[in-house]
Amino acid sequence: MRSAELDYELPSELIAQHPAERRDASRLLVYERPTGAVRHRVFSELPDELGGELVVVNDTRVVPARLRLQRATGGFVEVLLLERVADALWEALARPSRRLRAGEKLRPCVPGTHGNVELVEPLGLGRWRVRLEGEPAGEVPLPPYITEEQVDPSRYQTVYADEPGSAAAPTAGLHFTPELLAQLDVERVTLHVGLDTFRPLVTETLEEHRLHGERYHVEPAAWERILAADRVLAVGTTTTRVLETVARTGALAGRTELFVTPGLPFRRVDALLTNFHLPRSTLLALVMAFAGVEETRRLYSLAIEERYRFYSFGDAMLVR
């Protein structure tokens, strides 16, 4: 499949800069695959659209991984921690990266605060292996298309976030409130989201694109419940990747490089809850794999016509 087939035009004003005032007040586009029916709902009405599905969420927590640092020469460097690889070692992005050198030590811009960083080894394309003093104590990283200042950074965490380790939020889960979750049958898995999940496709075809692995784990009791469920609703593309990885490999922990593209059969996901994703993204490819390529194009065109809000703080879509 050509990457250009995942392109679409989105008016910039539909890129949500802030979350809805209440999490479950966002809109919900419902698409029924067997009939082609479409309904426009509010997210708080999700239980009315379900028929006993086991709702599986990704309970990863975004770490305060954006560090603003200073070189000994006085220059400023931004380091974004991507993944912990050992006790104090992380894989990270650093910018500007061109003049940085292995062995260089960076200190926080605010005097007296902890969090010194040593550049250990360049990994190419702005990536570095770094040694961090202590635990991450920077800012929660927001996607680059969110350009307005946020009043409440906690809104970029799900209410069930528990396992620290992500560089980005599993955004389909941002719509849930504790009250709404209490109405559903919920199970948890964990996948720590890396930035490569959101990296645009730059190859001509999907087949040429390579995903970097992301760490996941599923408790044995949770997988037993998931296997036994009549129907499973995956909350988000990250949850989908975990479920489809375990369904194929049987491994309850490890790294997944599963790239879900049109034509891949789904073995344990019966319904998908997801936000509206960037063009030319692996996330949009996954939605097309589940809902159908032409059907997804039609739904996205309808969402634009109906003025749905897109991307991380935007509205949601239920495909069942």
Identity at 279, one-letter amino acid code: P
The answer to whether residues 296 and 304 touch, using CB atoms and an 8 Å cutoff, is: no
> What are the structural domains, with CATH classification, of the chain?
3-62+142-319 (3.40.1780.10), 66-132 (2.40.10.240)
Task: Determine how β-strand 66-70 pairs with β-strand 117-124.
Answer: unpaired
Residues of the chain with pLDDT under 50: none
Q: What's residue 110's pLDDT?
A: 77
Q: What is the pLDDT of residues 179-201, one digit of tens each?
A: 999 999 999 999 999 876 667 77
- Cα separations (Å) of 54 from 126, 174, 227, 305? 41, 18, 10, 32
Q: What's residue 112's pLDDT?
A: 60
> How many CA atoms lie less than 13 Å away from 226 in the CB half-sphere?
27
* 225 vs 233: CA distance, rounded Å: 13
Q: What is the mean pLDDT of the chain?
A: 94
The answer to whether residues 22 and 313 touch, using CB atoms and an 8 Å cutoff, is: no
The answer to whether residues 296 and 281 touch, using CB atoms and an 8 Å cutoff, is: no
* 18 vs 165: CA distance, rounded Å: 23
pTM of the complete model beyond 0.75: yes
Q: What's residue 211's pLDDT?
A: 78
Q: What is the pLDDT of residues 118-148, one digit of tens each?
A: 999 999 888 999 999 999 999 998 888 999 9
Task: Determine how β-strand 163-166 pairs with β-strand 316-319.
Answer: unpaired
Angle at 310 between CA 308 and CA 314, to 5 degrees: 85
